[in-house]
Structure 1
Amino acid sequence: MTTVPYSGPLGATSVQHAPVIETAGGLVWRVRDGRLQVQLVHRPKYDDWSWPKGKLDEGEALPAAAVREVAEETGKPVVLGVPLPGLQYLTPEGRVKRVHYWAARRAQGDVDGRALGARAPVRPVARDEIDKQVWLDADDAARRLTRATDRGPLDALVDAHEQGWLPTHAVAIVRHGRAVARSTWYGAEQDRPLTPLGHAQAAATVPVLAAYGVTMVLSSRWERCATTMEPYVRASGLRPEYSDNLSEAKHERSPSRVAATVRDLLESDRSSVLCTHRPVLPTVLDVLGQHSRRAVANALPSRDPFLEPGEMLVAHVAATAKGPRVVSLETITPPVY
């Protein structure tokens, strides 16, 4: 597993200054009769079989672009799981193109309906762009793929399947958006509001949380956290849970209650988001580390401020015989324009 959606450095090339084209997509998977199957699409313009993917729209976050492109090219919505190794190559025009991939499962209306409701409508692509789709066993898919480089993400998907790391739920940890500075706020600390930038950061989390199928919202009751979650609550129609235990003051007196809350989210089978404050993050990260593989635990933020305002950490959690296990991490800064 990788800790970021794109794996592999750009490396030294003679075109480091060239513009980068960012694209995103997914390997849609399912298990039938004990066999891992994946979905490929055919592009008639190039007469090739590949993974559904496409370019980012302006101001679009990578996870949001991935679920949009997969829905456009397969006609069905998906929910993102663990990130997979990405690809990069030079286009004929000399530009660097990078493709970011995730494992993705078909969305289920009864489970993911609220998250799907928070997404923008998607229109399927025209037949002259994608004219065929096919489900294949993983070995058959490896042979059907037109480009050998597309087998890299598939190899990682197969490995995750064999490890039992494909069925996961997400636990997103969000630091509230940018707030009015303490030095310029003369009201009660719990009422300190977001700045205009903070409101924009809050709005930018909506498509990202929806991409991971978040159906549970927990937040500090303090104004800056509750307001950060408001756009997603409004878009999804979810009923949030607010807790004083996630505030700075209550955490200082009883960090064990925050730890218990995080453990509950890891043990749940629902994808969730927890919004809290910078001083609370060390306790949150400590619990994640206790339930992580060593490589994942070593990748957790270790320096103050741990997350920037509006930034989120997405933990992908698999159920194992020994309890919940964080098998992959992503740190995401939703774009704000």
Structure 2
Amino acid sequence: MSSASVSSAQASSRVSADILAAGAVCWRSGPDGLEVALIHRPRYNDWSWPKGKVESGETLPETAIREVREETGLDIHLGVPLPTAEYMVGGKNLKKVFYWSAQVTGEHSFTPMNKREVDEVRWFPVGEARTKLTSYADRDQLDALETYDATDALRAWPLILVRHGKAFPRAKWHETEHVRPLLALGTRQAMALTGLLSAWETKKLISSPWKRCMATLAPLAAATGKTIKKASCLSEKSTAANPDKTIRFIEKLLAKGKPVIYCTHRPVLPTILEIYTQHSPKRISEKLPKTDPYLKPGEVLIAYVRPGAVPRIVDIERIRPIDS
């Protein structure tokens, strides 16, 4: 079984499968409505979604981004997750393929990296794509895409919550709490987050000003050239003293409607998750973590927020960090 990280919105945090793969359904608004990109594989003479197997050290979102780039030439950011495909390979190996939606804007030419694997990529209106897809099961992703489109959830943006990486034990730290640092594992988690979090569009990085949170986002900031905005209301001390200020801050993030990554502490999570619950239908709020520690050190929770006057979370995902 692969050791790749897994989205718990689609499966358990440790998937029981012999083969893990990921891909995306690339979509755009055409003159007559929704259009999707299909690839043609000469080896199988079929039309399908761009996808491929997880490589060593990759998370599933990173795999989806890489495979779409290799098979279509498109650089994408991930949108709402779509149904997972599950089937047997060779009659004995269980394969699971994880999918996300991915909006494509502007004019793009398709340039597959290996034309022996993919010799054609074409846009199809969804009705035509349904008949063009070789595998009947691939219609599951298309059906979900259309359902999301009908409710404007297809254009949901990601609000990404990060719990800081593994820090020096609180009980063994005898200096000021706000300068308690990451352990070596926490630093590795921060480095691993750089590739993972690049899978989603990001407009801003925000963090508790405490050292361990800032250090968790520092590699991503360096890689993207973005400055980390410090928000004191995301610190443990500020939230304990004035939780209403933290609540107002999170409500403002939801209302602005812009993709954001923000990092905070375990004691702050119950306050944030309560706000998420208020902005989610029951089927989504039931996916939110309910018990302490809520998220593991370095773990990520992505809330997909439907645009509009009233923010509404339409799906969530949790991505497990590296553990060692």
TM-score (norm 2): 0.92
Q: Does 1:331 align with 2:318?
A: yes
In the TM superposition, what is the alpha-carbon distance from 1:333 to its structure 2 partner?
1.1
Q: Which residue of 2 aligns with 1:112?
A: none
In the TM superposition, what is the alpha-carbon distance from 1:76 to its structure 2 partner?
1.2
* RMSD across aligned positions (CA): 2.2
> In the aligned structure 1, how far is the partner of 2:112 from the partner of 2:250?
38
In the TM superposition, what is the alpha-carbon distance from 1:269 to its structure 2 partner?
3.0
Structure 1 residues 249 and 7: CA distance shift in structure 2, 3 A: closer
In the TM superposition, what is the alpha-carbon distance from 1:270 to its structure 2 partner?
2.0
Q: Does 1:65 align with 2:53?
A: no
Q: Deviations over 1:225-282 (max 9, x none)?
A: 0000101101110011012211111111111111122112212232111100011001
Q: Which residue of 1 aligns with 2:49?
A: 51
User: 5+ unaligned residues in a row in structure 2: which ranges?
Assistant: 1-6
Q: Does 1:32 align with 2:36?
A: no
Matches within 5 A, 1:266-277: 266-277=254-265
- Are the counterparts in 2 of residues 77 and 107 from structure 1 also a CA contact under 8 Å? no
Which of 75, 79, 86 does residue 77 from structure 1 map onto? Answer: 75
Q: Which residue of 1 aligns with 2:10?
A: 6
- Are the counterparts in 1 of residues 209 and 231 from structure 2 also a CA contact under 8 Å? yes
In the TM superposition, what is the alpha-carbon distance from 1:125 to its structure 2 partner?
2.3
Q: Deviations over 1:85-134 (max 9, x none)?
A: 111111116211110000111278xxxxxxxxxxxxxx952111111001
Q: Which residue of 2 aligns with 1:118?
A: none
- Are the counterparts in 1 of residues 160 and 262 from structure 2 also a CA contact under 8 Å? yes
Q: Which residue of 1 aligns with 2:3?
A: none
- Are the counterparts in 1 of residues 112 and 118 from structure 2 also a CA contact under 8 Å? no
Q: Which residue of 2 aligns with 1:178?
A: 166
Q: Which amino acid in 2 is paired with 1:204? A: A
Q: Which amino acid in 2 is paired with 1:285? A: L
Q: Does 1:232 align with 2:236?
A: no
User: 5+ unaligned residues in a row in structure 1: which ranges?
Assistant: 109-122
Q: Which residue of 2 aligns with 1:116?
A: none
Which of 91, 94, 97 does residue 92 from structure 2 map onto? Answer: 94
Q: Which of 326-335 and 306-315 deviates more?
A: 326-335
Q: Deviations over 1:136-180 (max 9, x none)?
A: 111110100001011111111111111110011100111100000
> In the aligned structure 2, how far is the partner of 1:141 from the partner of 1:76?
19
- Are the counterparts in 2 of residues 176 and 277 from structure 1 also a CA contact under 8 Å? yes
- Are the counterparts in 2 of residues 59 and 336 from structure 1 also a CA contact under 8 Å? no
Q: Does 1:262 align with 2:260?
A: no
Which of 268, 284, 287 does residue 299 from structure 1 map onto? Answer: 287
- Are the counterparts in 1 of residues 112 and 119 from structure 2 also a CA contact under 8 Å? no
> In the aligned structure 2, how far is the partner of 1:44 from the partner of 1:268?
45
Q: Which residue of 2 aligns with 1:219?
A: 207
Which of 154, 157, 177 does residue 145 from structure 2 map onto? Answer: 157
- Are the counterparts in 1 of residues 71 and 112 from structure 2 also a CA contact under 8 Å? yes
> In the aligned structure 2, how far is the partner of 1:298 from the partner of 1:331?
13
In the TM superposition, what is the alpha-carbon distance from 1:55 to its structure 2 partner?
0.8
Q: Which residue of 2 aligns with 1:117?
A: none
- Are the counterparts in 2 of residues 5 and 100 from structure 1 also a CA contact under 8 Å? no
In the TM superposition, what is the alpha-carbon distance from 1:71 to its structure 2 partner?
1.2
Q: Which amino acid in 1 is paired with 2:310? A: G
Q: Does 1:202 align with 2:190?
A: yes
> In the aligned structure 1, how far is the partner of 2:191 from the partner of 2:169?
20
Q: Which of 85-94 and 150-159 deviates more?
A: 85-94
Find runs of 4+ consecutive structure 1 residues off by over 4 angstroms: none
> In the aligned structure 2, how far is the partner of 1:163 from the partner of 1:218?
30
Q: Which residue of 1 aligns with 2:40?
A: 42
- Are the counterparts in 1 of residues 70 and 114 from structure 2 also a CA contact under 8 Å? no
Structure 1 residues 305 and 7: CA distance shift in structure 2, 3 A: closer
Q: Which of 186-195 and 266-275 deviates more?
A: 266-275
Count of aligned pairs? 315
Q: Which residue of 1 aligns with 2:19?
A: 21
- Are the counterparts in 1 of residues 10 and 317 from structure 2 also a CA contact under 8 Å? no
TM-score (norm 1): 0.89
- Amino-acid identity (%): 39
